[in-house]
Structure 1
Amino acid sequence: MHPIEIELWYRASGSRRDAAQSEVQTLVEEAGGSVTASVQIGAIGYHGLKCEVPSNVIQALASGDFEGVRVVKSANVMFLRVSGQSLPPEGDVVASVPRTELHDLPQGNPVVCLLDGIPATNHPLLSGRVSVFDPDEIGDGVSADERRHGTHMSSVAIWGDLASPDVTPAARPVLVRPILAPSAHTANRSEEVREVDLMPDLMRRVFRELFEEDEDGAAVASEVVVVNLSVGDPATPFDTIISSWARMLDWLSYEYGVLVIVSAGNHTRLPIPMSQAEFSSLQGEERRQAMLDAQESDRVNRRLLSPGESINALTVGAAHADAATASLPPYLADPADGHPAVSPITAFGGGYRRSIKPELLAPGGRAVFTPSVIGSDPIIFRNGGPAGPGIRVADPVNAGETHISGTSPAAAEVTRYAAKLVDELERIAPGTLFSRRERALATKALIAHSAVAPGQDYADHTASRATTGNGVLARDLTAGCAENEATLLFLGAVPPGHSQELLLPLPDGLSQLGAKRVSATLAWLSPVNWRHRQYRQASLSFSKPGGGIPDLKAGQYRSHAEVTRGATTLQRLDWEVRSSFAVGYGDDLALTVKCFGQAGVQDPGLLEFAVAITLWVDDSLGVDVYSQVAEQITVRTRQAIRP
């Protein structure tokens, strides 16, 4: 028997839902199967069944013989998929390099939680740095060697790329709530979601366990702000309709005030219109362009994997980059031939109603392949290996290390940075009691604000532009600002139909001709209405900055129309001018945030948001932006609290 999931159309009344389930259950039983579990979640319009069916049903589905599977033809069935979001096994391992004695163990409580596989908690690089909350006892009976994906993602969330020269561990421990387990139905017992779990129900249960208080008034994850999901469903690529998994994450993210970071998904096969030998013979930019052309031609098959289309989540794609320095062995080929590029395996294509997805890229390791000398079969990218390239991570086998690539380590790297930003918020505003929602919004805005618009080598191709989102994660705002720039973070709330003006104090010295840049990022979490086409119930946006400064024209990398399109909950724009500003110390740059209700919103009250604004002036102009802005903020703060 094989497990399958059936998602039914969510009927308006309980009696109609019961009748629909009864009809589908009868069809499953007539095929020789059985229904093992059922779940209904009214908040997101979900009605799902977990079933077991004979092998002949799976074979008929695989061969396209839908006439032979009556349950597929039922008017009550919305989706049917074979269960399991499995992950491919990784490559061999190398010995671990001693690092732990150079760094203290983390302090405090976790602020990030990974929903992933079971980590090898006794690995030298993870011991004392990862905490596991496993109420389902998934880890019972699982050998250390089988704890691959959870170990790899925990390693990245704690250390980043182990090949980086300045690698330092996370200041806080990382919490892992296992949702993946080795499966007897997969090659090498690869990890996948358990056969008994329906993802929307599992997500709802996990969030309740983490954030709701128990009988003693304590929550398991009281300080967790960020939840990471470096897992996707290859059976559910996004195709205009938001999946039940993504809908559940949207609802939970808003309900609990949590930032969810998800991976865009991987596509490890790339069809090319030539033989692999011909492709490998191309040099430099010519080979990179051929790779991008192939990605664009195969765009329909490289869509986001569920739940990457979630509107409240921050979706991360992979850049073709890592810190490995060793040369490639002669039997491996780099599809970009050493040039900067989006990863050839990253998913892309936009989110719901053509909103920008993924929102940003992060280093995901260089994906390489072994060229075939004959034929024109699709390129199949390898899963990693001991010599690299790729993101270097801890591996459970012999407490060693290996290299991996894809959007999973990219999302884990962004999660690692998110943990630093949560602590930075406490540092810059000591004693302030931020709510979990405020910390989540600030973190979401600052992550996107840390992305840098890709250079021409990234943005010169349709496939690159569709994949890079708001840019590539390249700045660390926790390292502070240079003298010629200042970044301000605003936290606010506004009801639908209203607006709020934000003011950034300006320095003297702007009257000089020279490059000046304004960057602004707005982030929020929206309630959702699954019954309405618009889906998102809170639409926020900001106007072009004003306040006496010259007209900033259109956005530098993305236009206003692009960043506000669809059902986004993130807006990032950059403007650069060389003209003189007829303003100075004592004047303000003004940014207005507006809020509109959508999708039949029923008075949600105040919608909280976070905005990050940066003013940058070319260093050659000699303007101390940071000190002048900070001085004015200090004066205004003192005036505001004066009795």
Structure 2
Amino acid sequence: MIEIAGSVDDFQGAVEKTNGLEWLGEWEIEDIEPNDDFYEPTTKIGADFFKNKINGVTKKQSKEIQEILKAYKFIDDDGKIISDGIPELSLPDHLAHLRRDIDQAIERRAKNKQLTGRLFLSFTNEQGMKELLSLWKKWKKGEKLPRGKTKWRDVFKQTLKIRRWGMEETLYETGMIDHWRDLIDPIQPDRKIRFQIELFYRQNAERRKNNETTVGALLRETGGQSLGSFIDMPDIAFHAVKAELPEGKIRHLLNALDSSSDSDLGLFKFPGVMYFRPTGQSLVISNDESGAAAEFPDSGDMPRLPPMAAILDGVPNLQHEALKDRILFDDPDNLAAEYQPGERKHGTAMASLVIHGELDGQPDPLSSQVYFIPVMQPDPETSDRSAHFPDDVFFEDRIARAVRRMLEGESNTPAQAPTVKIINLSIGDPKRPFIHTPSPWARLLDWLSWKYRVLFCVSAGNFNGDIDVGVPHGEFSKLPDKRKKIDISLKSIAKQLSQRRLSSPAESLNSLTIGALHTDESGDYESGNRIDLLPDEALFSPVSRFGHGFRRSIKPEILFPGGRQLYRIPFRNSDKHLSLDSALRRPGQQVAWDSKEEGALSQVVYTRGTSNATALATRNGVRIHEVLTKLQEEHDEKIPENLIAVLIKTLLVHGARHDAQAETALIDSLKTSKNSRRFKEVMARYLGYGMVDIERVLGCTEQRGTVIGCGEIKEKEIHEYRFPLPIELSGISDWRRMVVTLAWFSPINPRHRNLREAKLELEPAETWDRMPLKLKRKDSDNDQVLRGTVQHEILESKKQVAKYQEDGHILLRVIGKADATERLDDKIPYGLAVTLEVEERVDILPGIISNIPVYEGIRAGIKSKVATET
């Protein structure tokens, strides 16, 4: 393993040209403090700067850009930055398409950030190790490296350490040591302890088989065994096995580690092992309360339309009055037989929210069925028999089979729900928080999303631990100002960020990750012995987990209501820790519930969390599909089936924005002199792109109009969209807002540090403030919005609009780029949405904005053309 500070291009090529070394992967590590030996100059932009920072830029172009910066007096003749402000550049036509890349490169250089390093993984045999160490020794002596090995010079210049992959990574980083300490039971010294072994993914199938043979032999040698066959999924580079060892062997390992002595257990020294991980996780929390009976009046016809949404979860109660005849249930593994009455809680609640929304809100049920395929079952080893994935089952395999059965079919069984466009995943693995690189589960969702052109809505995960408010409860409860309580609570939550990382698979790139808002429709409630730590319904739920996502992308992207979550008042006024209140009563979101009582088929309770928020996101995705279907019928148009899901993804995010009250609370509590320059990133960690106002997406007004586009784009292609502007806006000085959203599904390359093969960008033909509307970005960091698969930007202004004639317009460009691949061969599906909004008092004639149909933007409301970069 080689750890470096800085960056080295094409390190993979250097590894693959060295005998005995095999490239296995890499990932970025952040926040390496600069020191005297390792630092990156941040005050100079040389002639080759842009060539090295932007793919496809030639040496000549790089020099030309540098000269432009000199002309703007941003840098001096030596390339040193001499201006505090980053200039708005006027670029020649042949460089205009690089504007966003140029701005980002300049901004990164000017920000003087900490170094970013990478962890490089390469499996070595003795020959490879000897050659690597020989090259390292030559370089340290100042000797010239052999022909064909000069790339190693760039690596060694920034090398922090070279060492073997060991227990620090395989056991400590995954939390296995602490997990095993908790499991050790002196009363049952002979029991078996189960776990998962994840192997480095070798590109050669024979080498993978050899690793399987070796691991099997080492298990038997240690008195253990595998629990089944190895799983080998080349599309996501996942190779693993479930196993068990006698508790005594685990205790022996822990004792050796405690005494700092070397363990003689070969399994834990085998270099083919990447990680040891827990297995058989209980993924949802059970509750024994039965709930209260409710009335479900006849809501009219049962759904006749085929399913647009699917749910992967525990088994629901299909006979519950809220769900009966509304679910297309498919149970190929007969998991329903594992459940007893009263245990089908989580699946019932999620189905209730997807179909009806919050029952207190009395919304209309969906007009289409919901496809439901169970993937979890009760755990017979726990007292509450909470839903889980069994020890000998890979949830990656169970999820993959479920989606394949749904959309493609398996063996002689045809696709069971080929019309599904959205899959709800209100489950996650809290034992696998996101660190460094996406989990196999997240990579699987990315691959499935790309393969089947389907959208996954995934919960960010819940944090169920205590919150230490830092002051005695007696003092906290007497604070007269709710803003002070919010301030203390936000600061306390901010101290827990390392414990509140996203739960796998929420880091999935192609999926939408959903966070929870601290709001619901349950109305007033009796607080009793409970307290609201965040008495502001514009803020996130105090149980929500936060980003960032992979490569510091914005995750979760959007927030939906997740119910107001209260905390129990401690017994002693001196206590500073407050515990989660899990009672199934107000406040919260009313959902259908499975009861133990015979014949009780109308029970409801109040629940909270990101699972609920995710179900509401899925429900609203179906509502968006209903509107798209209606618009297609009205305008005699047809959106290609393979673009429906990505368009739903686009429109779900399109309605998101930061609430001003929530922004103010975060700024007042968390903004400091140290984080002020990057506070937009800090804000995005908690709020994502913001709370979603779905009604703004589903309809237009005379002051707000939305147009959409979709298509497939290749690398180096540019799709241009021309949006006509109402003549009534020419020259006015009234407030206006433009919201632009671009979303796509990308293929993945699990061998590349960036994973995402396709990088799409939306940019104006000129800078936003040079366009007729004179707009300025709000909310999100303009660099961070490009790191995932959704670019969502909100722009506003009150400056005077430039005067224009009848042909006034805005020109936007969608640009296709390669990321985690040298060449992008696939066409990338994307969706685009643009909304223009003006103050209500501005007189916009009907037919100018309000009568531009949403869907017509694909054909007539906007003009588009395809170009190719040169």
TM-score bracket for the superposition, by shorter chain length: over 0.9
2:653 to 445, 448, 467: 448
1:563 to 785, 791, 794: 785
User: Shift of the alpha carbon at 1:14?
Assistant: 2.0
Which residue identity lines up with residue 12 of structure 1 in the other structure?
A: Q
- Residues 273-282 or 571-580, more deviating: 273-282
Structure 1 residue 388: Cα displacement:
1.5
Distance in 2, Cα, partners of 1:348 & 1:508: 44
2-structure distance, mates of 1:625, 1:384 = 51
Query: Deviation per CA, 1:240-269, whole angstroms, max 9, x where unpaired?
Result: 111011011111110111111100011111
Q: Distance in 2 between matches of 1:601 and 1:344?
A: 43
Do 2:327 and 2:372's aligned partners in 1 also have CA atoms closer than 8 Å?
A: yes
Correspondence list, 1:123-272, <5 A:
123-164=320-361, 166-213=362-409, 218-272=414-468
**Pairing 1:35–2:226 present:** yes
**1:544/1:552 contact within 8 Å kept:** no
CA gap of 1:209–1:639, structure 2 versus 1, over 3 A, is closer
The AA in structure 2 aligned to 1:469 is G
Alignment partners' CA distance in 2, 1:101 and 1:135 = 31
Instruction: Give SS of 2:614's match.
Output: helix
Moved more, 465-474 or 376-385: 376-385
Amino acid at match of 1:562: Q
On the 8 A contact 2:554/2:684 being kept in 1, the answer is no
Distance 2:216 2:471 in 1: 48
Letter in 2 for 1:443: I
Question: Judging changes above 3 Å, is the alpha-carbon distance between structure 1 residues 278 and 16 closer, same or farther for their aligned structure 2 residues?
Answer: farther
**Partner of residue 362 from structure 1, selected from 560, 571, 594:** 560
- Rounded to whole Å, the distance in 2 between the matches of 1:420 and 1:60 is 57
State how far apart, in whole Å, the 2-side matches of 1:367 and 1:308 are. Answer: 21
Structure 1's 465 and 215: CA in aligned 2 closer, same or farther, altered over 3 A? closer
Residues 213-233 of structure 1: CA deviation (Å, up to 9, x unaligned): 467794211100011111110
Cross-structure match for 1:336: 534
Within 2, Cα distance between the matches of 1:161 and 1:62? 48
Specify the alignment match of 2:111 in structure 1.
none
Distance 1:444 1:194 in 2: 32
CA distance in 2, matches of 1:634, 1:6: 51
Where 1:88 maps in the other structure, the secondary structure is coil
Structure 1 contact 505–629 (Cα < 8 Å) conserved: no
Quick check: 330-339 or 33-42, which moved more? Answer: 330-339
The structure-2 alpha-carbon separation of the partners of 1:405 and 1:63, relative to structure 1 and needing over 3 Å to count, comes to farther
Instruction: State whether residues 355 and 562 of structure 1, in contact with CA within 8 Å, keep that contact through their aligned partners in structure 2.
Output: yes
Bigger Cα displacement from structure 2, 607-616 vs 59-68: 59-68
Match of residue 616 from structure 1 = 837
Q: Is the 8 A contact 1:616 1:625 kept in 2?
A: no
Residue of structure 2 equivalent to 1:590: 811
Q: Deviation per CA, 1:186-216, whole angstroms, max 9, x where unpaired?
A: 3411111233321222222222111114677
> What amino acid is the match of 2:719?
Q
Choose 11-20 or 539-548, whichever is displaced more.
539-548
CA distance in 2 between partners of 1:575 and 1:390 (Å): 34
Q: Cα–Cα, structure 1 residues 338 and 491, in superposed 2: closer, same or farther, change >3 Å?
A: closer
Match for 2:690: what amino acid?
A: G
> Per the alignment, in what secondary structure is the counterpart of residue 814 of structure 2?
strand
| Gap runs ≥5 in structure 1 | none
Work out whether residues 489 and 612 of structure 1, in 8 Å CA contact, stay in contact via their aligned partners in 2.
Answer: yes
Aligned to 1:297: 495
Is 1:380 the counterpart of 2:595? The answer is no
Partner of 2:202, secondary structure, is: coil
Q: How far is the alpha carbon of 1:414 from its aligned partner?
A: 0.1
Q: How far did residue 628 of structure 1 move?
A: 4.6
Distance in 2 between the 1:519 and 1:639 partners?
16
2:523 match: secondary structure: coil
* Whole-angstrom distance in 1 between the partners of 2:591 and 2:254: 36
What are the residue-to-residue correspondences of 1:16-35 with 2, within 5 Å? 16-35=207-226
Find the counterpart in structure 2 of residue 324 from structure 1: 522
Question: Does 1:116 find its partner at 2:305?
Answer: no
Letter in structure 2 aligned against 1:32? G
Deviations 1:92-138 (A, max 9, x none): 24323213413432121111111101000000111111121111111
RMSD of aligned alpha carbons: 2.7
2:323 counterpart letter in structure 1 = L
Instruction: Find the counterpart in structure 1 of residue 722 from structure 2.
Output: 503
Aligned residue number for residue 615 of structure 2: 412
Contact 1:549/1:582 (CA < 8 Å) preserved in 2?
A: no
Change (3 A) 1:394 1:495: same
* Cα contact 1:90–1:404 (8 A) shared by 2: no
Change (3 A) 1:413 1:376: same
Please report how far the alpha carbon of residue 270 of structure 1 lies from its aligned counterpart in structure 2 after TM superposition.
3.5
The corresponding residue for 2:760 is 540
CA deviation digits over 1:537-576, x for unaligned, max 9? 1000111365984364541111321211x3x000000111
**Structure 1 residue 459: deviation in Å?**
5.0
Secondary structure of the residue aligned to 1:543 is strand
Which residue of the partner structure matches residue 531 of structure 1? 751
CA change 1:631–1:574 in 2 (3 A) is: closer
Match of 2:173 in 1: none
Which amino acid is the alignment partner of residue 316 of structure 1? I
Q: Name the CA shift for 1:232/1:369 in 2 (closer, same or farther; >3 Å).
A: same
CA distance in 2, matches of 1:229, 1:529: 23
Q: 3-state SS of the aligned residue for 1:620?
A: coil
Instruction: Give the deviation of 1:406 after TM superposition.
Output: 1.0
Quote the residue 2:30 is aligned against. Answer: none
CA distance in 1, matches of 2:711, 2:857: 19
Cα shift at 1:624: 3.4
| Contact preservation (8 Å) 1:157, 1:412 | yes
Deviation, structure 1 residue 441? 0.8
The alignment partner of 2:764 has SS state of: coil
TM-score (norm 2): 0.69
| CA apart distance, 1:626 | 5.3
Distance 2:565 2:254 in 1: 29
Deviation at 1:471, TM superposition (A): 0.8
Distance 2:805 2:570 in 1: 63
Give the distance between the partners of 2:252 and 2:582, measured in 1 at CA.
30
Partner of 2:185: none
Give the secondary-structure state (helix, strand or coil) at the position aligned to 1:522: strand
Query: Is the contact made by 1:513 and 1:580 (CA closer than 8 Å) also made in structure 2?
Result: yes
Cα distance in 2 for residues equivalent to 1:405 and 1:295: 18
Task: Write the distance in 2 (CA, Å) between the matches of 1:418 and 1:364.
Answer: 17
- If asked which structure has higher relative contact order (CA below 8 Å, sep 6+), I would say 1
Where in structure 2 are the equivalents of 1:71-82 lying within 5 Å? 71-82=267-278
Match of residue 519 from structure 1: 739
Letter in 1 for 2:685: A
- CA contact under 8 A between 2:518 and 2:536: conserved in structure 1? no
In structure 2, what is the Cα distance between the partners aligned to 1:500 and 1:454? 32
Q: 2:244 aligns with which of 52, 59, 68?
A: 52
In structure 2, the gaps of 5 or more residues are: 1-191, 671-681, 864-870
With over 3 angstroms needed to count, the CA separation of the structure-2 counterparts of 1:114 and 1:639, relative to structure 1, is closer
- 1:437 is aligned to 642
For the residues of structure 2 that align with 1:519 and 1:9, how far apart are their CA atoms?
Answer: 43
**Change in 2 beyond 3 A, CA 1:377/1:81:** farther
- Per the normalisation by structure 1, the TM-score is 0.93
Structure 1 residue 450: Cα displacement: 1.4
1:390-434 deviation per Cα after TM superposition (whole angstroms, max 9, x unaligned): 111100113311111111000010000001111211111125443
Structure 1 residues 475 and 17, CA, compared in 2 at 3 Å: closer, same or farther? Answer: same
Spell out, residue by residue over 1:118-162, the C-alpha distance to the aligned partner (whole angstroms, 9 max, x if none): 000000111111121111111114123110110111011011111
User: Which residue type is aligned with residue 486 of structure 1?
Assistant: G
Name the SS of the counterpart of 1:574 in structure 2. strand
